[in-house]
């Protein structure tokens, strides 16, 4: 990256139809690939749960990477919504999770992501949750726990130090709601609680589709900011639909 270059930057609130709700993400639009160390420094400076870096090439799939303040992640839904909010139209991204397609139309953004159904493990997470769990398991990168009620999910105060010391230090908790509610904690990747987590719904949607006997569901992530994710399970894929609001745009000077 040329340190004298000016680089396009946006702040987008994802999975919401109004500013200052949902999940904020940084979007850095590049005209060529950037050094990973530089991207990590930018993400640490911006301090959002994820900052997306997309190479806006003219043809073919656009390279897309996501960084938390402390590390690169292999999949991020809300920052992908944010990128598509900025670029518009139909986009294909080349990512660590393979090629992902996204389309912006009629005020909604639809993402086609790989399904990641949790596998039951039955492990005891009571020292983290400080509450009973009806189901515990693991998805590709996250611990997964089903609590007794939506109220239990809203009121949960997991032990983040204990969670940080586990496997990947990442946990999805969920319970029935209108369809289902959830929260996501990721101290292992520098995100104590993520306001709305698209990638977690790649696990939530298949789990609740089996439990509720339907493939189209609405998830509410009941963090302080809150957000809504519409989901549809199609075999080994999950369609995630959300709205987004661009809050600010400018340039990076480093």
Q: For residues 51 and 25, is the Cβ–Cβ distance under 8 A? A: yes
Q: Is 110 a catalytic residue?
A: no
Catalytic pick among 8, 45, 50, 157: 50
**Residue 33: how many other CB atoms lie within 10 Å:** 13
Q: Which of 231, 222, 228 is nearest to 152 (CA)?
A: 222
Pairing of strands 143-146, 171-176: parallel
Q: Which of 193, 185, 181, 186 is nearest to 221 (CA)?
A: 181
191-213 b/e (C-beta count within 10 Å ≥ 16 → b): bebbbbbbbbbbbbbbbbbeeee
Which residues are the active-site residues?
50
């Amino acid at each position: 990256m040329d340190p004298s270059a000016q680089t396009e930057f946006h702040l987008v609130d994802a999975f919401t139809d109004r500013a200052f709700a949902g999940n904020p993400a940084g979007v850095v639009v590049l005209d060529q690939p950037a050094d990973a160390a530089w991207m990590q420094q930018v993400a640490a400076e911006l301090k959002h749960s994820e900052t997306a870096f997309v190479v806006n090439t003219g043809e073919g799939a656009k390279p897309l990477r996501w960084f938390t303040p402390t590390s690169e992640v292999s999949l991020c839904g809300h920052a992908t919504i944010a990128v598509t909010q900025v670029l518009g139209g139909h986009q294909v991204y080349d990512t660590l999770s393979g090629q992902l397609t996204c389309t912006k139309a009629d005020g909604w953004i639809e993402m086609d992501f790989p399904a990641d159904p949790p596998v039951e493990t039955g492990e005891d997470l009571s020292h983290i949750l400080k509450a009973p769990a009806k189901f515990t398991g693991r998805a590709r990168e996250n611990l997964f726990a089903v609590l007794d009620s939506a109220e239990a999910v809203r009121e949960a105060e997991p032990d983040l130090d204990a969670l940080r010391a586990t496997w990947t230090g990442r946990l999805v908790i969920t319970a029935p709601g209108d369809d289902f509610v959830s929260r996501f904690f990721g101290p292992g990747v520098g995100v104590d609680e993520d306001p709305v987590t698209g990638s977690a719904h790649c696990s939530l949607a298949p789990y609740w589709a089996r439990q509720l006997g339907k493939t189209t569901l609405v998830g509410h992530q009941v963090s302080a900011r809150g957000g809504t994710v519409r989901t549809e399970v199609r075999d080994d894929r999950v369609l995630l639909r959300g709205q987004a609001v661009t809050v600010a745009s400018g340039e990076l000077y480093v």
